[in-house]
Amino acid sequence: MMSGGASTSILTIALLIALNLLLLSLLIGLIRAWLGPSVEDRFSAILLMGTGGVAMLLILAILLQVTALYDVALVLALLAVVGTVALTQSERNHD
Amino acid sequence: MTDTLAILAIFSGLFFFLSGSIGLLRLPDLFSRLHALAKADNVGLALIALGVIILEPVLINDIKIVFIWLLVMAASAISSHLVARRALRENRKHG
């Protein structure tokens, strides 16, 4: 299953645990996006999603030895900031 | 030795990520939530990127990870500034 992965098995297990804890962190952020009383609270949850996604992609790239995932992380970071800027600026015109 | 250092860095980053998301869930108002989020964005991703840089042998990928980290730092500063400014404007308008 992990063929071609990270070299030692302790490192692989540690990286898998790290990935699961990052998923837990994103899940807590999703709860805030669900509860969030104002739109800005949901925006701040989106910010956490973007950064957590970048961190997960960095760890996945080293775990699976797929270097293309660094580019995916770069694009995700760019899209997160563009999305946030578009959301915060576009809501202004509607009210 | 290298693996131990990298695992240490990644799990320190995870501590910041988890405390940032718990702060996002538990803190009382939007601005303190943004304050908790900034810790996860900057220090958490910096430590995880440091761990991945230690594990990644190819130099050009290391440089790419440093650029991803710089981009995410600038992006999180700009995004949280925009979200906080929008919240202040809405408060002034409605409250």
Whether B75 and A80 lie within 8 Å, measured CB to CB: yes
Please name the member of A25, A62, A91 whose beta carbon is closest to the beta carbon of B21. Answer: A25
Phi, psi of A83 (to 5 degrees): -65, -45
Whether A40 and B6 lie within 8 Å, measured CB to CB: no
Note the ipTM here: 0.89
Residues of chain A above pLDDT 90, percent? 43
Residues from chain B that touch A25, judged by Cβ atoms under 8 A, are 14, 17-18, 20-21, 40
Q: Calculate mean pLDDT across residues A15-32.
A: 92
Model confidence pLDDT, tens digit, residues B44-90: 999 999 999 999 888 999 999 999 999 999 989 999 898 888 888 87
Residue A2: pLDDT band (50, 70, 90) is: very low
Q: What is the pLDDT of residue A7?
A: 54
pTM: 0.87
- Count Cα neighbours of A1 within 13 Å in the Cβ-side half-sphere: 3
For chain B, the distance separating the N- and C-terminal CA atoms, rounded to the nearest angstrom, is 57
Q: What is the pLDDT of residue B30?
A: 87
Model confidence pLDDT, tens digit, residues A35-68: 878 888 888 888 898 899 999 999 999 999 999 9
Instruction: Return mean pLDDT, chain A.
Output: 84
pLDDT of A5 higher than 60 = no
